[in-house]
Amino acid sequence: MRLCYPLLICLVLTMSSSFIISSKHMWTKMILTHHWPTTFCSMEHCQSNISQWTLHGFWPDGGAFCNSSWHFNSSEIEDLLPDMKTSWPDLFDPLSNEFWKYEWKKHGTCAAKAISLNSQHKYFSKALNLYHTLDLDSILKKFSITPSPQYYNFSYIEGVIENFYHVKPKIQCGQSTKNDSFQVLGQIELCFNSSFALMDCEKQVSTESVPDRGWDYTMNVDKGSGLSMCNPDVPVYYPPVE
């Protein structure tokens, strides 16, 4: 029996270490990112006739590429694929699964540290559910924010989103290559806490219960190429579908 004690101690230490490592990488915020396909494709040289805001990603605020051995398997989300192709399309290749594969590999494996997202089906279905519940595209249209050759005041777009959802979004724009007197609406992020309640995207979440997060607590998420936070003083162009 005495021989078991060192083994038990080692086992306890190993389990404790695993828990500590896991908690260090645990997220506290999920970012549901919508992008406007026309803006994306004008910057990334793709073609799209999609006339609705689509999903770019569902990103945790801590860590990236958390489990390289957990490979994407489209058969696990087969029932979601029709919706994925419409709501979360690959703008480069609509017939490919590569975009979803990348999003799972980089972000899904980190989001999966929460029980609520610990499978591919849970991760992708939760993103789709939140996307449809928010219905950002319809809300913008409801308040007359539609693709137009006319420019919008940034404060109006931001105000509509804030007043409707009661949280502060993160809105990103691209710079026009032809005219620096306006910016191009590109991406809108809405954020959720660990209970999937909306929260301000810039809000700092308390980390007292998750000690020693270190460098990996820095938000490690994507943004559209060439996009940055919109300048509140510059008119916004919301480009029509070409």
Q: Give the tens place of pLDDT for each residue, 17-70.
A: 333 334 456 899 999 999 999 999 999 989 899 999 999 999 999 889 999 999
| Contact (CB, 8 A) for 24 and 216 | yes
154-211 residue pLDDT tens: 999 999 999 999 999 999 999 887 788 999 999 999 999 999 999 999 875 544 333 3
Do the domain assignments include residue 49?
A: yes
**Active site (annotated) includes residue 34:** no
Q: Which of the residues 35, 56, 158, 189 is marked catalytic?
A: 56
**SS3 assignment, position 58:** strand
Distance CA 100, CA 111 (A): 14
- Which token pair is 208? 């007292």
Do the domain assignments include residue 76?
A: yes
Do the domain assignments include residue 211?
A: no
Do the domain assignments include residue 62?
A: yes
| Contact (CB, 8 A) for 174 and 229 | no
pTM of the entire predicted model: 0.83
- Burial class for 125, CB neighbours closer than 10 Å (0-12, 13-18, 19+): middle
Do the domain assignments include residue 17?
A: no
**CATH number, residue 36:** 3.90.730.10
H/E element, 124: helix 120-134
Do the domain assignments include residue 213?
A: no
Q: Which of the residues 25, 34, 103, 158 is marked catalytic?
A: 103
**Active site (annotated) includes residue 56:** yes
83-106 residue pLDDT tens: 999 999 999 999 999 999 999 999
Which domain does 92 fall in, by range? Answer: 30-201+225-237
Residue 127 has pLDDT above 70, yes or no: yes
**Active site (annotated) includes residue 107:** yes
H/E element, 212: none
Number of domains in the chain: 1
Q: Which of the residues 25, 34, 35, 107 is marked catalytic?
A: 107
